[in-house]
Structure formats: C-alpha cells, structure tokens
Structure 1
Amino acid sequence: MSRELYPIVVKPEWIETIQSGYPALRKEMFESLQHVKDAGGLLHLMTEHKEYLATGYFGKQEKGVGWTLSMDEQDTIDVAFFKQLFEQALDKRNDFFEEESEAFRIFNGAGDGIGGLSIDCYDHHYLITFENEGIYTFRPMILEAFESLVHYKSIYEKRDFLIDLQPVKGDDFLVGERGDFPEMLQELEARYAYDLDAGMRTGFDIAQRELRKVLMDSVKEKNVLNLFSDTGTLTVAALQGEASQTTSVDFSTRSRNKTIDNLALNSFTPEKQTILIQDAFDYIEQADKKTRFDVVLFHPPVQVNTRTRQFRTEQDLSLWIQKVIHLTNRGGLLAITTDSPALDASQLKKAVEQAFNKLRQKFEVVWEQPEQKDFPIPPSMPQLAPKSILVRRK
C-alpha cells in the first residue's frame, strides 16, 4: 500500500521527551495533527526549525495517537526494518527457547521497539496482537518478517481495537496448520488449556507466570478465594500448591466451564471446589462477616462502565482493596493484580497502603512482581509492566 509521510512539528516543551526515547505519542505534543488522515500514516517528527527528531506512525490507542518507530532518519519502515527488530527480540528470548518453555512473550510492544504490537508463543503456535488500527496496516510486512524467522506450527492474530466502534471481523488464523483447540501447555507441575481461535482471550495469561509460581509456594493447607477468576489458572496453581480449598468467582458461564476443564486437566475434582457464576464485585459486597479466607486473589478488570456498575482502576482500586481486606483472615495473604496502563508498580503499592491506612490496619509486603525477561518495557513507561503484589494482613 502507498503510505503517506506526514511532516509533524513537535512543540518545544516536548522535544526533550521525544529525544529521550519516550515512545508514546499524544495529541498535545504537536502543533497540529489535523492534516493526518490515515491510520498507519508515517509521522516525520521535527522541530519548528525542521530538525529531525523521530519517525512514528499514526494509530489511535487509549489516550495516544501513535508510537515512535525509529530515531534514525535513514531508516525505511519496511520488511527489513521489522525483521531486524524481531531478530533482536528473539535473541533476548534465547533462554526460553533453550529451556523449551511452552508459553512466553516473543515481542512486547514498545519495550521491543514497536508500540501497539505484541507476539506470544504458545508451544510454537504464535499469536500476533495488533492493538490499534495504525499498526494493523503494517500487517503484511510484519507477517512476512516474522514468518521468515521462526519455526511455527501456526500463526494467529488478534485485533484489539475498533473501527467505527465495531470489532474488526475476520479469521484469526493466518498461516501454518490450524490448531486443534483448545490445546494444552505445561508450566511447572501444572497443565493449562488455551485457545487461539476463540475470540480475544486465549484462556491463559502469560504475564501471570511469576504469580502462579509464588502461589504454589504460599498456599499449602490454606483456603483460597479467586476473584475475577476467568479460566481458573490461579485456582489450579493454588491447588498444585496444596491449598485445602478454593472458591472461584466470575460472572460468566464460560469462566465456570473453562475452570472445570483446567481442574480436570490436572486431575482435581471440580465438584470438590466451589465455582460460582457471579459478578465478583457483587460477591465482595454481599459477603457476610463470617466469610473469610486465608488467601484472596483480586484481579479486577481495568474498567467497567455499565448501567449498574462503574469502576476505573486509577480511581477505585484502593476502595475495593479495602473491601477485599475484610475477606482476608488476620495473617492471611492478599494478592492484587492489575493490567491497567494507568498505574505502575509503585502506584499499585500506594493503593494498597492507602487501603490499609484507611482501615487503620497494618500489612507487610511478601512479594512484588519482578521484571520478566520476556516483558521488557521502556524505562520511561514503567506503567506498561505486568503488575502484581502479595501482602500479608497483620
């Protein structure tokens, strides 16, 4: 396709930010974007004196309007450009390939050089996620570059954006041999089902790998509550860690069925565990004073905006942590996880502190999400990292 190159003047107060490598582009950084019409259009970022700063692409995503791609004016954004970035990312993941890890991230957006794009490996089935319409216009080049570098069973895609407020329809399967999903992967002693051909969610969150590990070591003979449990992967991890009993709460029948499948995969009897089809917010509010658990896992959605419920992580997380504290026994553990790009790890910890302080209670941090080699992030955007914290209620 013919790709428009738009000269864009950066406001003086934002020049140093872009020169420092900050990759996310926002409307307020520029004198004008009115002449930029096409998603995927290349942005030639420059000072008012026409001095080159960076090359980016136009693609609306959350509060942004695009991402930088290169700080080198000589770079051509073509198949070779993407191939070079993919090669660098693959080299950084050599340990995962050598250890024959079955699920890990191959390419992590801006942390690997292309904001709005991620690639995950599920036992040599690869999933490319396009997070905005702009990066999706580079799809043929991205696929050609990536396909030339990896041995794959199949390659799938997810389109995590809307056009005219509607999902982009189409087959998620791209090349290779279509998987017989759901398929199974192994992580430590546990097995989990995943599906790359059933909508936006695969059923297995790679970013929670470290949390699953720490759970296995922390829940022996404990009663565990898993709120917003989705497919029950954390429930499985808890049972692998010899939890005495688990309760999983999520609003959808799909979640219940997938949780049952994951339990059965690991030879656990689903009937011996409690699996509730209920809005987890409602469960928290309706729980009586006798409802207490040794371990509570709290992973709320980033945002909810319905007729009966409003929730925004950056505004409401601390309030809901207060409510979840009441479900946690004294001396018990509380794990909080968020996918919100509005909070970094320090802000998540601050939300926990505010919640305990509001209740005039004390806690200690047992574990915080470490950096993960397959989830590199730009130093200037710590909020893009996976975020989890495990605390003990004193």
Structure 2
Amino acid sequence: MTKTIDLQVNARNIADFKKGYPLILKDAIINSDVLTTEGTIVRLLDKNRQFVAKGYYGIQNKGIGWVLTRREEVEIDFDFFESRIAAAFERREELFENPNTTAFRVFNGEGDGIGGLTIDYYDGFFLVSWYSEGIYSMKHHVYSVFDKIIEYEGIYEKLRFDTKGQYIEQDDFVKGEQGDFPIIVRENGMKFAVNLNDGAMTGIFLDQRDMRKVVRDNYSEGKNVLNTFSYTGAFSVAAMLGGAKKTTSVDLAQRSLAKTIEQFSVNGIDYEQQDIKVMDVFDYFRYAKRHELKFDLVILDPPSFARSKKYTFSSAKDYPALLMDAIAITEKNGVIVASTNNASFGMKKFKTFIEEAFNEAGSRYKILEESTLPRDFRTNRDYPEFNYLKVVVIRKTK
C-alpha cells in the first residue's frame, strides 16, 4: 500500500485548497521537511488536524505535489485513476467521433483531476507524459486503466522530469503495437506527420490547433507569410492550405528543414516554392530589414526561453523587443499572430507587451481576436494561470 504522510497547511493557504487550488506549493506546507520519497500520498491538515485535501508528493516546476481530492474517504488507487481517466475520455467523445481531427489531448493534468499527467491521442496511438517522479511511480494504475477500458493500437510515453539533475532516458514504447512512424494525423482536415519515438517533440504542438485553423480560414488567402520559430512548419502548412501566396519558415534547429519539408509534402504542397530558413530568428529579422522585405502575415510563437550562441531570449522580458522586430517588417494593414506559452504572466500582461512594442515602434494597431487553450486542454477557470497559452491576432494599422 502506498505510504501516506500528514502535512500541516499554513493558515493563509487553507482557503485556496478548499476552493480547489490544485498545486501544492512548498511555502504552503509547514512541515515539508518530512517528505522524502516522491509518490507518497499526502493528507493536508489544518492546525487542528482537520482534513483539508489529499494528494501526492511530486516535484514539478514551482510545486511539490498536486491535490487529487478534497474528500477524505477517497483512496488514491486503481479505481480513482479509472474514474478520472474515464470521465476525461467521455468529455472528448465528440473529438473521437470527428474524422477530420485525429490528434488531440484526452487528459490534461490538473484540469482533468490528476496534476502531472497528460495523455495525447494520435490516430489510435496514445502518448502519456509524466511530469514528476511522483506521478510516474503510479504508472501501473494508469496503464492498467488502459488495459481495462481503452482501445489502443500502441502506447508511448515521455518522461518530462529530472532526477538529480539528469534527464531520465528510457525507451518511449510502452505496450501494444509499435508504430510505423511517421504516422499521418488529421487536424481540421490538415495532415501532419508525427513521431512518438523521436525525442521530446512529436512534430506538432496540439495546443495550437484552434489557431492554425484560424490562420488557414481567416488570414492567409493571397498573403505573403512569415512563420518564425517555425519548428516543423505547421503554421506554414495552414497558411498555404488557406491560399497563401508564399510562406517563409524560420527556425534555428537543423532538423527543422527536413521536418518542414515533410509537413509540406504530406499535404501535397510543393516545398521548393517555399522559403525554409535554418537560422536564428533575430538574425533573420535583421536580414529582412536590410533587404527591405515585408510580410502580410507574421506568426510569432517563440518558446518561453531560448538560448543560441549569440542571443538569450526570455518571453517574460524580451517579447516587446521581439514584437518590435516583427512590426518593422509587417506591411501596413498586415496581421501579426502573437503567441506565448509562458505561464508566468497572464493575458492582461501580454497585452501590455503588445502596447509597449507598438508605442516604441511608433506604430498603431487593432486587436482582431484573441484565444487561449483549446477545449481538450481542460483547465480550471478559477485559476487562469494554468491556462498558459495566450494568442492575440493584431492588425498593424499604421
């Protein structure tokens, strides 16, 4: 039986836990020094030893664990995992029945009741991501649920946590049939090649599904498009399928060239008619200014943090400067899709970055629309900090 330890909650944090705040922060616990083994079940108690919540110990980003239930009688066992996972799959029933979209998230961590665990679906295959040693210690429950209630071709996993400063290396394949990768999935009718056994990335970021559709349907026809931090060129594919005149995809990673060619090819797009640049985005901005290049649509979707030989980029402090670079090469009445996945600030703060950049550039703008995570990336609306994705579509009016 899994060991259980009692933790005393600071008085100032009790109300948050009772309202449903899911992340256990170290500062919220008075006796956190008693925690030694990740995966330990913890009972959160007030100073009078009255029950507050139950969860597990697992170090992830800012937290030391996650609340799993506010009912004292609930056991964290197979039945618990089965009920949470079954409910999550039922919520995505409409997506499972949609032949035009065959890749999406079916379990989104704390949004579906188990922080530190995500499960993504790729046309018959599942990818399970574990974000702490603590939740990974309970993997037998999760995989037993698959065997009992879920039909699958194959299951792969990614371990997204460190232990003693070292990333745990493990074969990605878990059970079922091994995939013949890349497999081709559909997203709103678009095709994308994905690999579940080729490092941390799969070839597509599922959280941008809604925005790729928006770019294809509303902003691409006849446009000259620049896709920065382009990864495998998914936004470029969306733009071309939306009738773009031409795309330029820019990413520093060497593998982005072959991966972008692959994504164009599976959609029947002649990649030789597109520009695919393997170079630092900041160097490309300077190149574009020097050659007086202008674009009708610019996609800005940088990582939260990135480092190259010449630059260090943090979206929390450098996004305004990045946006100024984009403004300089955007045509008048052109559109910028500004996106960030940095969870350390919200949409309100992100909009101040946009205002700052346009003011500094001596330009004007109009916000056309904004969005956050798609519905399958379920979050608690009371705690918007867990809804990390922020996308704002901006028209440059001057």
Q: Same fold (TM over 0.5)?
A: yes
Q: Which residue of 1 aligns with 2:191?
A: 191
- Post-superposition CA distance 1:108-164 (Å, at most 9, x none): 111111111111111111111111221111111111123322111111111111111
Contact 2:209–2:374, Cα closer than 8 Å, also in 1: no
Cα distance in 2 for partners of 1:136, 1:295 equals 42
TM-score by length of 1: 0.96
Is 1:46 the counterpart of 2:48? The answer is: no
Letter in 2 for 1:235: S
Number of aligned residues: 393
Give the C-alpha shift of residue 389 in structure 1.
1.6
Q: Which residue of 2 aligns with 1:90?
A: 89
Cα distance in 2 for partners of 1:270, 1:97 equals 31
Contact 1:321–1:355, Cα closer than 8 Å, also in 2: yes
Give the C-alpha shift of residue 278 in structure 1.
0.5
Contact 1:224–1:295, Cα closer than 8 Å, also in 2: yes
Instruction: Give ranges in structure 1 of 5+ residues lacking alignment.
Output: none
Contact 1:260–1:270, Cα closer than 8 Å, also in 2: yes
Q: Which residue of 1 aligns with 2:176?
A: 176
Q: Which residue of 2 aligns with 1:352?
A: 354
Select between 177-186 and 137-146 the one with higher mean Cα deviation.
137-146
Select between 91-100 and 381-390 the one with higher mean Cα deviation.
381-390
Q: Which residue of 1 aligns with 2:244?
A: 243
Letter in 2 for 1:104: F
Change (3 A) 1:150 1:268: same
Letter in 2 for 1:252: A
Letter in 1 for 2:51: Y
Q: Which residue of 2 aligns with 1:223?
A: 224
Cα distance in 1 for partners of 2:367, 2:28 equals 38
Q: Which residue of 2 aligns with 1:294?
A: 296
- Post-superposition CA distance 1:182-216 (Å, at most 9, x none): 11112234211001111110001111111111111
Contact 1:246–1:273, Cα closer than 8 Å, also in 2: yes
Contact 1:86–1:146, Cα closer than 8 Å, also in 2: no
Q: Which residue of 1 aligns with 2:10?
A: 11
Cα distance in 1 for partners of 2:308, 2:67 equals 34
After TM superposition, which residue ranges in structure 1, 4 or more long, deviate above 6 angstroms?
Answer: none
Cα distance in 2 for partners of 1:66, 1:286 equals 46
Contact 1:126–1:154, Cα closer than 8 Å, also in 2: yes
Q: Percent identity?
A: 34
Q: Which residue of 2 aligns with 1:335?
A: 337
Contact 2:208–2:373, Cα closer than 8 Å, also in 1: no
Change (3 A) 1:209 1:14: same
Cα distance in 2 for partners of 1:306, 1:240 equals 32
Letter in 1 for 2:248: T
Q: CA RMSD in A?
A: 1.5
For residues 122-271 of structure 1, the aligned pairs below 5 Å read: 122-217=122-217, 218-271=219-272
Letter in 1 for 2:263: N
Q: Which residue of 2 aligns with 1:378?
A: 380
- Post-superposition CA distance 1:6-55 (Å, at most 9, x none): 21111111111111101111111111211101111112101011011011
Letter in 2 for 1:391: I
Cα distance in 1 for partners of 2:91, 2:60 equals 27
Q: Please give the secondary structure, in 1, of the residue aligned with 2:239.
A: helix
Change (3 A) 1:147 1:316: farther
Q: Which residue of 2 aligns with 1:113?
A: 113
Q: Please give the secondary structure, in 2, of the residue aligned with 1:321.
A: helix
Q: Which residue of 2 aligns with 1:319?
A: 321
- Post-superposition CA distance 1:48-68 (Å, at most 9, x none): 110110111111111211111
Change (3 A) 1:310 1:32: farther
Change (3 A) 1:133 1:362: same
Give the C-alpha shift of residue 305 in structure 1.
4.5
Select between 8-17 and 339-348 the one with higher mean Cα deviation.
339-348
Instruction: Give ranges in structure 2 of 5+ residues lacking alignment.
Output: none
Cα distance in 2 for partners of 1:17, 1:52 equals 14
Cα distance in 1 for partners of 2:332, 2:259 equals 32
Contact 1:322–1:355, Cα closer than 8 Å, also in 2: yes
Select between 152-161 and 140-149 the one with higher mean Cα deviation.
140-149
Contact 1:107–1:118, Cα closer than 8 Å, also in 2: yes
Letter in 2 for 1:282: D
TM-score by length of 2: 0.95
Select between 46-55 and 318-327 the one with higher mean Cα deviation.
318-327
Contact 1:189–1:240, Cα closer than 8 Å, also in 2: no
Cα distance in 2 for partners of 1:92, 1:75 equals 22
Cα distance in 1 for partners of 2:5, 2:88 equals 29
Cα distance in 2 for partners of 1:232, 1:186 equals 15
Cα distance in 2 for partners of 1:242, 1:196 equals 30
Cα distance in 1 for partners of 2:129, 2:38 equals 17
